[in-house]
Structure 1
Amino acid sequence: MIKIAIGPVLFDWGRAALKTFYRRMALESQADILYLGEVVCSKRQGLSLEDVEELAREIQPTGKELVLSTLGLVMSDAEQEDLHRLKDLAIALDLKLEANDMAGIGVAEGHKLVAGPHVNVYNPQTLDFLQEVGVTRMVFPVELPEASIRGIVSAPRANPVEFELFAHGKLPLTFSARCYTARAFKLSKTNCQYKCGDFPDGMITRTQEGEGLLTMNGIQTMSEKVHTLIADVPRLTPLGIDIVRISPQSRHMPEIVAIWRQTLDGNLDPAEALTRLAGYNGDEPFCNGYFHGQPGMAFHRA
């Protein structure tokens, strides 16, 4: 059975909202795995390390697997120190650590590691190396097409590894040392006034013709459209996928997870599931182009 993971919250929701979200997902959602931790910007840190530990101890008795996630771009000594502290907490609580860049893998080498979607694993040889330093699960980079995923999954290897696929949510594309959201308000990164908090699902950028192009989320660039592979569910089990990741959005998460669970279990037709998800997406178009070897913003109906 393919498991469902709720990825780390990529937006700035604030401490109270983040705590409420994780408690709801632990108690109300049909997800099997929860990722917890700041991935985008260390200035946000809506949850302190003490908050993370408190939530982890609350969630563990629910039976859901909890994974601690690291920053996608480590740029300072303070962020490096936070990375070490997060690794120590993961070890103390016996939790996996999702490393979202090679700094995280270097710090936590030998511990139970997840290679996040921002670690560039494009071939079986790279995965073989990562397994040697402790990686037991990898999340495929979001731009990989199905053919490349199949090549990595089917390659022979000495030790088993879990394969996780980013299956629903705005695609996390890149990080930058600059903060796009601060720049949009003519603010410096050091005096950003936490403008990200005004955009719970990111800030849409548009072309001169007014069409949606990308989503700005602090230092992160994301897709403007919500990516979904719900119509491709029949292809995922033969492909060898163990886990699908649903990336958090500010509304309708329990309902979205429930639709995915029903579809993965064969109790809901993928076409009907797509229609229901569209209703929770404000009837905005989805995208899934990368999976089908097309431009990422395209949508291919299975």
Structure 2
Amino acid sequence: MELTIGPNQFFWPSETWSAFYEGLVETPVDRVVLGELVCSKRLPFYQDRIPEALSSLAAAGKEAVLTSLALVTLKRERKLTAELSEMGVTVEINDLTALPHLPKGLGFHVGPLVNVYNEGTLTWLASLGAKRICLPPELPLASVAALAHAGADLGVAIEVWGHGRLPLAISGRCYHARLHKRTKDNCQFACDEDPDGLEVRTLEERPFMAMNGVQTLSDSYACADYQIEALAAAGVSALRLSPQSSSFTRICQLYRDRLDGALPAGAIADEIRRSSPETRLSDGFLVGPSGASWSVEPAAP
């Protein structure tokens, strides 16, 4: 099974952004998706660094892919989407409005924000040129297996979300701006204060979710550690790891070792809990009663 690094969901300083992708050159991953997924206002801060990152990753033998925006609402965002295919690398769409901008006959990937819930949708996307689809993270294991089987018949590789805060929703409003009593157009990039998203708690002070500009994320970090054998048996071709601000190269190595059989089930979770005891893990969308549940212990009350 391969490892794919998804696009960075957060807003980091440009130097941090560059250092992160330089670090990925040495990691045992197969492909890297980069670019702006969440908010087009962030892109100018690191846009000129993307070509160098693409070149470095390609030189290291990684497949480099560019993501489209998750929500295209403005004329300049449509223009940015149309320009993606001009970069000469594969494009991953996260909004179906990106499809008309792709040259006919050009293969593309599909990200987890596109609702591929059944074989009919998968077949339709394959007919348009989809070569790889990362399934939405809320699908149970039985659905993953059915779609992986259909993908194999169509020549479409199927990925599953393996690690990281889960993308739940994209809004037209900016939660970070609202929190700081600013308008979306004058957000002053408040989201840069929270490099892994801002924790949101209930009135009872229980962890609930995380916010990231216009994006809502899970509070817990999905972790496929205990489900890797089942996913491999289902025909999944790759796990997707979502960038985080600390220890990410180590996360990549742990998953590679686990996929190669060098680590037993539970080793990834154990190390994460030792190094970051406050991090909550979940794999409930695959096997549990709720997305936030964790298969090896009762869900938090």
1:296 aligns with 2:291: yes
Q: Does 1:97 align with 2:95?
A: no
Distance 1:223 1:240 in 2: 26
RMSD over aligned Cα atoms? 1.5
How far, CA to CA, are the matches of 1:58 and 1:272 in structure 2?
Answer: 31
**1:23 is matched with which residue?**
22
User: What is the TM-score with the length of structure 1 in the denominator?
Assistant: 0.94
Of residues 166, 175, 180, the one that matches 1:185 is 180
- 1:137 equivalent in structure 2: 132
Find the aligned partners of 1:236 and 1:85 in 2 and give their Cα distance.
Answer: 35
CA–CA separation in structure 1 for the residues paired with 2:206 and 2:98? 37
**Residue in 2 aligned with 1:12?**
11
Pairing 1:202–2:192 present? no
- 1:213 & 1:192 partners in 2: Cα distance? 24
Residues 38, 185 of structure 1: alpha-carbon distance in 2 compared, 3 angstrom cutoff: same
CA contact (8 A) 1:42 1:71 kept: yes
Q: Do the aligned residues in 1 keep the contact of 2:112 with 2:134 (CA within 8 Å)?
A: yes
Give the 3-state SS of the residue equivalent to 1:301 in structure 2. Answer: coil
Deviation at 1:158, TM superposition (A): 5.4
Output the CA distance in 2 between the equivalents of 1:96 and 1:172.
22
| Deviations 1:8-38 (CA, angstroms, capped at 9, x unpaired) | 1100002111111001111x21111111110
Q: Assess if the C-alpha contact under 8 Å between 1:116 and 1:140 holds in 2.
A: yes
Distance in 2 (CA, whole Å) between partners of 1:234 and 1:157 is 18
- Residue identity matched to 2:57: I
Q: 5 Å matches for 1:52-63?
A: 52-63=50-61
Residue 246 of structure 2 is matched in structure 1 by 251
Matches within 5 A, 1:46-85: 48-85=46-83
Which amino acid is 2:274 matched to? G
Q: Is the 8 A contact 2:4 2:31 kept in 1?
A: yes
Classify the secondary structure of the residue corresponding to 1:171: strand
Whole-Å Cα distance in 1 between the matches of residues 98 and 69 of structure 2? 8
Q: Aligned residues, how many? A: 296
Counterpart CA distance in 2 for 1:160 and 1:274 is: 33
In the alignment, what sits opposite 1:274? 269
Alpha-carbon distance in 2 for matches of 1:106, 1:301: 44
1:127 alignment partner AA? L
Q: 1:291 to 1:125 in 2, by over 3 A?
A: same
Which segments of 5 or more consecutive residues in structure 2 lack a partner in the other structure? none
Call closer, same or farther: CA 1:47–1:55 in 2, change over 3 Å: farther
Percent of aligned pairs with the same amino acid: 33
Q: Give 3-state SS (helix, strand or coil) of 2:43's partner.
A: coil
Counterpart position of 2:121: 126
* 3-state SS, counterpart of residue 78 of structure 2: helix
The correspondence for 1:165, drawn from 156, 160, 163, is 160
Unpaired runs of 5+ in structure 1? none
Q: What is the match of residue 226 of structure 1?
A: 221
Q: 1:114 aligns with which of 91, 109, 117?
A: 109
Write out the 4+ residue segments of structure 1 that deviate beyond 4 Å after TM superposition: 46-49
The structure-2 alpha-carbon separation of the partners of 1:67 and 1:47, relative to structure 1 and needing over 3 Å to count, comes to farther
Paired with 2:129 and 2:7, the residues of 1 have a C-alpha distance of 21
1:33 to 2:61 alignment: no
Aligned to 2:85: 87
* Contact persistence 1:175–1:221 (CA under 8 A): yes
Change (3 A) 1:58 1:272: closer
In 2, the alpha carbon distance for the partners of 1:132 and 1:156 equals 12
For residues 84-134 of structure 1, the C-alpha deviation after alignment (integer angstroms, 9 at most, x for no partner) is 111211xx3xx2110001012221153221110011101011111101111
